[in-house]
Amino acid sequence: MKIVLGVSGGIAAYKAAELARLLQQAGYRVQAVMTRAAREFVAPMTLAALTGEKVITDLFPPETAAASPADAEAAIEHIAVAQAADALVVAPATAHVLAKFAHGFADDFLSTLYLATTAPVILAPAMNLNMWRHAATQANLETLRRRPGHVLVEPGAGYLACGMVGEGRLAELEAIVAALERALAQGQRDLAGRKVLITAGPTREAIDPVRYLSNRSSGKMGFALAEAAARRGAAVVLVAGPTAAEPPRASGIEVIPVTTAEEMAAAALAQFPHVDLAILAAAVADYRPVKPAGEKIKKTAAPLHLELEPTPDILAACGRAKRHQILVGFAAETGSPVAAGRAKLQAKAADMIVANDVTLPGAGFDADENEVFLITASGDRKLERAPKSKIAGQILDAAAALLAPSPSVRLVRA
């Protein structure tokens, strides 16, 4: 998961370096965004070296005679960073930053990113005691406390850099990490008690002992779905074809490695009756050699003909076996994805098809980003280009909305 660490300008800014390290130890990727004042207290290089990520300091590149396309890209970078963030942690958050956030001012990278993100926001204020107690600051804090998705990690009391003793000291760093973890878990456990089947990656169909038919699927989309579902509380069975990417080994995910379409079909269909939701993201080979050669095929001058037969269609088989399950398939298309996806929705008795145009550069097959259409009986919706982890969350939101209420959820009449 990616955490954007906003650092604003106060003495406590030096503690952001230690916080970045703690967040990394907890398994998060960290990207730091520093305000101009923060850079008076800590060098961006310190955070860049610790996080291994570019530290963002300015909304606009330094004034140059002629603006380049790279400058234009930098000017909209806050949107990309905002979309990729799983959470925004601002530590320390100064009185000025709290005021800007409370009122929606967007005049630098951090405040602009704040408005552009929909991720949870964790604010750890630190300032002089009188600034903390000021009615303006308290009013802004009240506004932010009441804002959905916002968590304030209240400052501690103690000796302050200004020489005063009282509230205003940045909270313990461990308390900030704990608040982040609670915020990420909260409201996101909507798949607790659910069992989810996910297929991912390509399959390989042997031609002879050393050669096979396959495709360019990296498995990343399916792996992102498995991780996101597990994080939301589901028990996940991930049936994974062979890829270079490592399948996620997080708790809550059982990985069943397979090689061929036949093996993937057997593993997936054995699991299907026991799950609530099945998302078939694998790029299954549609055909396999009828008779794979037992020995390596030798080269001759004559053309080589391979006779191919269809593999089992796992999605269609799940569609036929469907009882209570919600069934989600993918449609990788080179033509019009919506029309083709809608045809697959009906042909395979799926509840939702995630359709994408695999010819788009930088999205889909073997890429880290995707842009897709979600197609259901009630219509279709485009998900704008975003990292696959983000797209995974949006697919799960849509799939979770189709699930019948969990038996553990009781309606209470007031």
Interface residues toward ligand CTP, by CB under 6 A: 199, 261, 280, 282, 284, 286, 311-315, 329-332, 344
Closest contact distance (angstroms) between CB of 345 and ligand CTP is 10
Q: How far is CA 236 from CA 182, 189, 191, in A?
A: 22, 14, 10
Closest contact distance (angstroms) between CB of 230 and ligand CTP is 20
Strand-pair category, 235-240 with 253-257: parallel
DSSP, res 283: B
Helices assigned H by DSSP within 252-387: 261-271, 314-321, 337-347
- 326-347 burial code (b ≥16 CB/10 A, e <16): bbbbbbbbeeebbebbbebbee
Nearer to ligand CTP, 32 or 224 (CB): 224
Nearer to ligand CTP, 227 or 357 (CB): 357
* Residue tagged active-site, from 49, 139, 162, 250: 162
Closest contact distance (angstroms) between CB of 378 and ligand CTP is 20
**Residue for token pair 């799939």:** 399
Q: How far is CA 321 from CA 227, 317, 397, in A?
A: 26, 6, 24
Q: Is 318 a catalytic residue?
A: no
Nearer to ligand CTP, 82 or 267 (CB): 267
Residue nearest to ligand CTP (CB): 314
Q: For residue 9, report the phi and psi dihedrals to the nearest 5 degrees.
A: -85, 95
Closest contact distance (angstroms) between CB of 392 and ligand CTP is 15
Query: What gap in Å lies between CA 221 and CA 281, rounded to an integer?
Result: 7
Look up residue 20 and give its two tokens.
Answer: 């970045």
348: nearest Cα among 402, 309, 312, 391: 312
Per-position DSSP letters for 14-77, written without gaps between them? GHHHHHHHHHHHTT-EEEEEE-TTHHHHS-HHHHHHHHSSPPB--SSPPP-SS--HHHHHHHTH
Closest contact distance (angstroms) between CB of 351 and ligand CTP is 12
8 A C-beta contact, residue 8 and residue 35:
yes
Closest contact distance (angstroms) between CB of 297 and ligand CTP is 25
Look up residue 208 and give its two tokens.
Answer: 């002879």
- Please give the positions annotated as active site: 162
